[in-house]
Amino acid sequence: NAGVMQNPRHLVRRRGQEARLRCSPMKGHSHVYWYRQLPEEGLKFMVYLQKENIIDESGMPKERFSAEFPKEGPSILRIQQVVRGDSAAYFCASSLWTGEGGELFFGEGSRLTVL
């Protein structure tokens, strides 16, 4: 059973370009979370999605950032018109939520560098 797959692992963009980060959850998992991590800092919650639905996007910046988890295919975190402050590691996690908590399985992350 493959783990959470994220790609690309490393992405370099110039200011003003778009970044698209993909996440395929573990087989059978319908819950996907995106977290952002700056160097030497903690994990900041961005968004929580289930298939075709955004459940909680309270951690997402209001502008330039969007996320989706379509019925078919991976979850995508999209950052438009990137700025240098967007440089970070973006981790995706998936889980089987049971109502009493569910272990998060993290991907290896996508490291975005904005020049």
Our CB check for other proteins shows the closer of 82 and 93 to be 93
User: Could you say whether residue 107 binds other proteins (CB under 8 A)?
Assistant: yes
Contacts (CB under 8 A) with other proteins, residues 66-85: none
Per CB under 8 A, which of residues 5..64 are in contact with other proteins?
Answer: 31, 33, 35, 40-45, 48, 55-56, 58
CB contact set of 67 (below 8 Å; sequence gap of 6+): 34, 46, 47, 49, 54, 57, 60, 75, 76, 77, 78
Q: CB of 87 within 8 A of CB of 73? A: no
List of residues contacting other proteins (CB under 8 A): 31, 33, 35, 40-45, 48, 55-56, 58, 91, 93, 97, 100-109
